[in-house]
């Protein structure tokens, strides 16, 4: 509850013109204008850039009442990204690439098809991570055959990106081993390092009765807490959502197959039905800018008129 | 034999890390034996999936799985236990408020996992 004031302030900012000023709360850094040099606060500064987050594409899902264009939505989203006049520096998919299946060979078929379809992105740097639909039934074995490690880091233009896997363990935990790895990675970072975390489930307890939580997520947040410039982007809940744990902002993305209701707004979580009057409503993707220490977000819809022809 | 089993159950409960204590239920029988409610899990249902408990009364939920490892989690009571095939797990619950509580399987168990949940109604 102690976050109430911060959160209200934050939501007011979030309401402005569809653009969210995210970790802008951690302070505007005038040194960013220098680009590629050392900031006035001593942190390494890269040049500004932006990336695109897509999430929860659930390739293989079928349910005409929920998404009658289950075969086309992912392709449309890719066409939307390809049509952006400025192309992003990279694209990240934050999990649930495929719809879960109990059949391991069908799982591989879906992962292969997904991989084939996203080859159409004009942007060639694409980062992946699994969701529980991709990885929880075989601890990520099939996923790894197609996309490699389920947790890793990379650095780009002065920002340290950390991908956390809270889905390969069927118990929805990061696990001691990964938390030790995270602590080790963070121990090598400057306190003022700009850090962006990608993960699938929320790291905080958004709605544990809906499986919208990570069993040991609080331990990851504790490890990140000493760093003043951390922002988390995740998926899993199929809607835009913004939350602060202390100074760390957590931003959930919309999905690209079906939308889910607001946390605990209905007795039982279930996909929202397709609205024929507003096709693709509730689906979308986002651009995220890296602007000094802040990450302004622009939410983008899937337009019914965009053809998936590339 | 019995002792080894209890130690196993204790370790399991510790590993589960929840408030769910599967411990000592056989060693120290309370003056009034606890009400035991059996709940069995199989992909992708709990049977039964509606339970009625009395406010303030401790019950012993006896959990078993007919097929794969599952979890039984009542987030609003901060209680959970692993539910494994071939054994039973005991989880004591003492709801303190009248109302409804959701329980769910918290070990991803297959294509219907997301719908695997139930409701506890707590009455006076
Ligand atoms: Cu998910
Ligand atoms: Fe999802």
Residue pLDDT, tens place only, A190-219: 999 999 999 999 999 999 999 999 999 999
Token readout for A292 is 């000094």
Question: Exposed (0-12), middle (13-18) or buried (19+): which is B86, by Cβ within 10 Å?
Answer: exposed
For the cut 70, the answer to whether the pLDDT of residue A108 exceeds it is: yes
Show the domains of chain A with their CATH numbers.
49-301 (3.60.21.10)
pLDDT value at residue B33: 86
C-alpha A235 to ligand 1 mean position (Å): 7
CB within 8 A of B38, min separation 6: which ones? B62, B64
For residue B14, pLDDT beyond 50: no
Give, in order, the Cα–Cα distances in Å from B53 to each of A132, A184, A300, B40, B58.
32, 46, 47, 17, 9
Q: What pLDDT, on a 0 to 100 scale, did the predictor assign at position A122? A: 98
B50 CB burial (10 A radius; 0-12, 13-18, 19+): exposed
Which position has the higher pLDDT, A155 or A292?
Answer: A155
Half-sphere exposure of A52 (CA within 13 A, CB side): 24
Chain B stretch 59-88, residues whose beta carbon is closer than 8 A to a beta carbon of chain A? 69, 71, 73, 75-76
Confidence of residue A45 (pLDDT cuts 50, 70, 90): low
Over residues A232-239, the mean pLDDT reads: 98
Which ligand is nearest to the Cα of residue A259, counting in written order?
Answer: 2
Name the nearest CA neighbour of B87 among B8, B26, B31.
Answer: B8
Q: What ipTM does the predicted assembly reach?
A: 0.83
Length of chain B as a residue count: 124
Angle at B94 between CA B91 and CA B97, to 5 degrees: 140
Confidence of residue A293 (pLDDT cuts 50, 70, 90): confident
Over range B44-63, report the average pLDDT: 98
Measure CB to CB from residue B111 to each of A101, A172, A268 and give the nearest one.
A101
pLDDT band at A47 (very low <50, low <70, confident <90, very high): low
In DSSP terms, which residues pair with A59 in a beta bridge? A98
Does the structure show a pLDDT above 70 at B19?
A: no
Q: Which residues in chain B have Cβ-Cβ distances shorter than 8 Å to A136?
A: 108, 113
Mean pLDDT of A69-73: 98
Alpha-carbon distance of B3 to B12, in angstroms, equals 14
Partner residue facing A209 (CB), from B75, B107, B113? B75
Taking an 8 Å cut-off on Cβ atoms, the answer to whether A215 and B108 are in contact is no
DSSP letter assigned to residue A6: H
The pLDDT-based confidence of A305 (bands split at 50, 70, 90) is confident
pLDDT value, residue B31: 64
pLDDT in tens, B54-82: 999 999 999 999 999 999 999 999 999 99
pLDDT of residue A304: 80
Protein residues placing their CB within 5 Å of the ion ligand 1: A 96, 131-132, 236
Closest CA to B110 of A137, A192, A305: A137
Give the contacts of A222 (CB within 8 A, at least 6 positions apart).
none
> Alpha helix (H) ranges present in A100-189?
104-118, 132-135, 141-147, 175-187
CATH code for the domain defined by B2-123: 2.60.40.420
Distance from B55 to chain A by nearest Cα, in Å? 20
With an 8 Å Cβ cutoff, are B106 and A215 in contact?
A: yes
Q: What pLDDT was estimated at residue B38? A: 98
Judged by CB atoms closer than 8 Å, whether chains meet at B104 and A209 is answered as yes
Q: Does B109 sit within 8 Å of A172, measured CB to CB?
A: no
Distance CA A37, CA A40 (A): 9
State the Cα–Cα distance between residues A94 and A55, nearest whole angstrom: 5
């Amino acid at each position: 509850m102690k976050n109430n004031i911060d959160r209200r302030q934050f939501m007011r900012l979030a309401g402005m013109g569809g653009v969210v000023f995210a970790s802008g709360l951690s302070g505007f850094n005038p040194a960013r204008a220098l680009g590629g040099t050392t900031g006035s606060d001593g942190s390494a500064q890269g040049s500004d850039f932006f990336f695109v987050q897509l999430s929860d594409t659930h390739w293989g899902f079928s349910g005409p009442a929920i998404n009658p264009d289950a075969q086309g939505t992912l392709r449309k989203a890719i066409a939307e990204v390809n049509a952006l006049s400025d192309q992003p520096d990279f694209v990240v998919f934050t999990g649930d690439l495929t719809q879960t299946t109990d059949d391991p060979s069908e799982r591989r078929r879906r992962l292969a098809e997904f991989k084939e379809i996203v080859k159409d992105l004009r942007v060639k740097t694409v980062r992946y991570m699994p969701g529980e639909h991709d990885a929880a039934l075989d601890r990520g074995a099939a996923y790894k055959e197609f996309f490699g490690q389920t947790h890793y880091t990379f650095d780009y233009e002065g920002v340290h990106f950390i991908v956390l896997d809270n889905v390969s363990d069927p118990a929805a935990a990061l696990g001691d081993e990964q938390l030790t790895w995270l602590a080790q990675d963070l121990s090598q970072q400057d306190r003022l390092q700009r850090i962006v975390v990608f993960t699938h489930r929320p790291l905080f307890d958004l709605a544990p009765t809906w499986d919208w939580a990570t069993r040991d997520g609080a331990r990851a947040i504790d490890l990140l807490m000493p760093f003043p410039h951390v922002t988390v982007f995740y998926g899993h809940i199929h809607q835009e959502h913004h939350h602060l744990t202390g100074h760390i902002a957590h931003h959930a993305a919309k999905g690209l197959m079906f939308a889910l209701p607001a946390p605990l707004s209905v007795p039982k979580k279930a996909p929202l039905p397709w609205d024929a009057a507003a096709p693709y409503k509730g689906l979308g993707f986002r651009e995220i800018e890296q602007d000094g220490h802040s990450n302004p977000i622009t939410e983008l819809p899937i337009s019914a008129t965009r053809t998936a022809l590339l | 034999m019995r002792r080894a089993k209890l130690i196993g159950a204790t370790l399991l409960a510790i590993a589960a890390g929840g408030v769910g204590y599967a411990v000592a239920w056989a060693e120290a029988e309370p003056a009034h034996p606890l009400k035991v409610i059996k709940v069995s899990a199989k992909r992708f249902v709990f049977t039964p999936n509606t339970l009625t408990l009395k406010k303030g009364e401790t019950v012993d939920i006896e959990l078993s799985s007919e097929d794969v490892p599952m979890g039984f989690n009542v987030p609003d009571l901060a209680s959970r236990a692993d539910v494994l095939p071939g054994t039973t797990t005991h989880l004591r619950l003492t709801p303190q408020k009248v109302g409804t509580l959701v329980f769910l399987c918290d070990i991803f168990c297959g294509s219907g996992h997301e719908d695997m949940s139930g409701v506890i109604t707590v009455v006076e």
